[in-house]
């Protein structure tokens, strides 16, 4: 059967309820066969809770918000410098944020922060923005002495999508299928099932033929598709019991 988020009864393209009229049968298994998912979600968004950090200069704290959207290492530097510059008392061109020039040196995939003042500036990270920019959760201080982030930046923070459904209530966290993705923004994540039996889940039958679907990241957060729909196909079947019958027959014969 085919699942299209545009045919949802309620919800959004990211998290919805759809009606599936199943013929009467003794289905006991379900598997995702194919899925076509547009990469329309943002790297940073208020919905994911990874768009803010705190800045302290002297004794003053300020919360800064990174605009929702997807970024690369270059565009992120422009945005961070503008945010810090908007609240600093160090004057124009107060901050330098740099990264390795891989044309002339090894690429470390790390940012280096410095300011034009000997006064210490402190950044505080409490959410997933730290993982994207290469910081540890907590504080990071810098001044006129350049400081490199402790970790590498990561602008591909969602590498796996988890398609969850009430079709698979008995599965771990209702995960119908895990899908790897390494597609550029605005591309399509395409999944094609390669091993039905190994990836099948115990089918959760209900009496109203309405089932939920959602796309989540590895932390259980719903991935905001920003209104763009996606489609999938699911297979319902009953597993072959022949091996169980043979096993039980052998047991009975052995006991006799």
Residue 203, burial from CB neighbour count under 10 angstroms (0-12, 13-18, 19+): buried
Average pLDDT of the segment spanning 70-94: 96
Average pLDDT over residues 62-85: 97
The per-residue pLDDT for 86 is: 96
DSSP labels, 21-38:
-PPSS---EEEEEEEEEE
Burial (CB count <10 Å: 0-12, 13-18, 19+), residue 49: middle
| Residue matched to tokens 């022949």 | 242
Q: Could you tell me the CA-to-CA distances from 71 to 75, 92, 155, 184 in Å, in that order?
A: 6, 24, 7, 11
**68 has which bridge partners?**
none
Indicate the average pLDDT of the chain: 93
Could you tell me the two tokens for 92?
A: 């124009």
pLDDT value, residue 103 = 84
Q: Per-residue pLDDT averaged across 238-242, rounded?
A: 78
State residue 244's pLDDT score.
Answer: 65
Q: What is the largest CA-CA distance in the chain?
A: 92
Q: Please say if the pLDDT value at position 235 is more than 80.
A: yes
* 3-class DSSP assignment, residue 250: helix
Q: What tens digit of pLDDT does each residue of 138-195 get?
A: 999 999 999 999 999 999 878 999 999 999 999 999 999 999 998 889 999 999 999 9
Mean pLDDT (whole number) for 5-27: 93
Residue 253 has pLDDT above 90, yes or no: no
Instruction: For residue 83, give the nearest of 97, 111, 68, 64 by alpha carbon.
Output: 64
Residue 220 C-alpha from the chain's centroid: 8
| pLDDT score for 102 | 83
DSSP state for residue 222 in the 8-state scheme? B
Domains plus CATH for the chain? 2-41+158-255 (2.60.120), 52-148 (no CATH)
Give the model's pLDDT for residue 224.
95
Q: Is residue 242 scored above 90 in pLDDT?
A: no
Confidence of residue 58 (pLDDT cuts 50, 70, 90): confident
pLDDT above 80: residue 223: yes
Higher pLDDT, 67 or 184: 67
DSSP 74: H
Question: Is the sign of the CA dihedral 201, 231, 3, 225 positive or negative?
Answer: positive
Lowest mean pLDDT among 59-68, 187-196, 222-231, 235-244: 235-244
Other beta carbons less than 10 A from residue 228's beta carbon: 16
Q: State if pTM tops 0.75.
A: yes
Confidence of residue 245 (pLDDT cuts 50, 70, 90): low
Closest by Cα among 84, 153, 76 to 115: 84
């Amino acid at each position: 059967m085919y699942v299209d988020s545009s045919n949802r009864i309620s919800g959004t393209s990211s998290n919805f309820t759809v009606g599936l009229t199943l013929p009467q049968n003794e289905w006991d298994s379900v598997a995702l066969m194919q899925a076509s998912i547009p990469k329309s979600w943002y790297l940073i968004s208020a919905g994911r809770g990874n768009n803010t950090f705190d800045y302290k200069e002297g004794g003053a704290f300020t919360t800064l918000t990174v605009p929702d959207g997807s970024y690369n290492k270059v565009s992120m530097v422009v945005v961070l410098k503008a945010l810090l510059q908007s609240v600093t008392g160090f004057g124009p061109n107060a901050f330098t944020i740099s990264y390795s020039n891989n044309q002339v040196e090894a690429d470390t995939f790390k940012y280096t922060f410095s300011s034009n003042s000997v006064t210490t500036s402190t950044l505080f990270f409490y959410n997933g923005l730290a993982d994207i920019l290469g910081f540890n959760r907590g504080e990071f201080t810098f001044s006129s002495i350049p400081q490199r982030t402790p970790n590498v930046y990561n602008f591909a923070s969602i590498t796996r999508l988890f398609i969850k459904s009430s079709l698979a209530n008995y599965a771990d966290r209702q995960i119908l299928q895990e899908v790897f993705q390494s597609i550029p923004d605005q591309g399509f994540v395409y999944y094609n099932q390669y091993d039905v039996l190994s990836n099948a889940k115990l089918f959760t039958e209900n009496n109203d033929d309405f089932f939920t679907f959602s796309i989540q990241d590895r932390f259980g957060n719903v991935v905001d598709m920003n209104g763009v729909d996606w489609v999938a196909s699911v297979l319902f079947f009953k597993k072959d019991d022949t091996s169980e019958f043979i096993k039980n027959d052998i047991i009975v014969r052995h006991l006799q």
